[in-house]
Amino acid sequence: MSRTPTTQTRATGQVAAVVLAGGRGSRLGGADKALVQLAGRPLLAHVLARLRSQAAPIALNAAGDPARFAEFGLPVIADPVPGFLGPLAGVLAGLDWMREAAPEAPWLASVAADTPFLPRDLVARLRAAGEAAEAEVVCAASGGRTHFVAALWRPHLGPTMRAALVERGVRRVEAWIAGGRAVTVEFAAEFGDEPVDPFFNVNRPEDLAEAERLIAGAGA
């Protein structure tokens, strides 16, 4: 990761965001995971309900026909590097988009489209920690596990990320972050009266059933 200084370390301004919806949904029968119904709404709608008050503008990173996401009113951006290279390519897509859509934004937030219980203070807490530590990347953590996709990224990281993907074949987000100016922020379990990992993600039919149960129990 580049250690190039940035004049935006203490910058103010709205954080931009990208929702990563490139998962193939193989454990959900190949379904378009972001559009799987949860409590009567697409899974993506639950994520956006928690993200829209925290960041703007927001883009959706997904392959295929963007028209299927028309109801959400978001720009849909494809990976800039071919080959379905995973979430790191999705973050790079967000950084590329952000240069035009939000050139003054001091950070890009990334979240996954299958995490319906995201913390409502995710961006604020990550940003505070990142600016205090003069970090380039800030990742969320819960239960002792780091969530490398639930993160904030400095805008200047695009070129080194692209080089890692194209020239060095780096695929894993955590491998790219290693050795750079990165910090983590721990989040406690929440959601109604029942403790739930705020980064609970829907990968399998049983996860979807559990999310349905949690939402029904919380009356949300």
Q: Residue 186 has what pLDDT?
A: 96
pLDDT value at position 25? 52
Residue 3 falls inside a structural domain: no
Q: What is the CATH number of the domain that holds 37?
A: 3.90.550.10
Residue 9 included in any domain? no
pTM over the 0.95 mark: no
Write out the residue range of the structural domain in which residue 106 sits.
16-218
In a domain, 192, yes or no: yes
Q: CA angle, 23 as apex, 195 and 168 as ends, to 5°?
A: 110
Q: Report if residue 36 sits inside a domain.
A: yes
Look at residues 136, 100, 147, 140 and name the one whose alpha carbon lies nearest to residue 124.
140
Does residue 196 form part of some domain? Answer: yes
Residue 10 lies in a domain: no
The long-range contacts involving 34-41, CB below 8 angstroms and separated by at least 24 positions, are: 34/60, 34/62, 34/69, 34/113, 34/114, 35/68, 35/69, 36/202, 36/208, 38/116, 38/202, 38/208, 38/211, 38/212, 38/215, 39/211, 39/212, 39/215, 39/216, 39/220
Residue 32's pLDDT is what? 86
Please count the structural domains in the chain. Answer: 1
Q: What pLDDT is recorded for position 84? A: 76
Q: pLDDT of the chain along its 220 residues, tens only? A: 543 333 333 446 899 999 999 765 555 656 789 999 999 999 999 999 999 999 999 999 999 999 999 999 999 999 988 877 899 999 999 999 999 999 999 999 999 999 999 999 999 999 999 999 999 999 999 988 999 999 999 999 999 999 999 999 898 999 999 877 899 999 998 766 678 899 999 999 999 999 999 888 775 5
41-42 and 37-38 as β-strands: parallel, antiparallel, unpaired? antiparallel
* Predicted pLDDT at 8: 35
Residue 4 lies in a domain: no
pLDDT at res. 70: 96
Is the residue at 73 inside a domain? yes
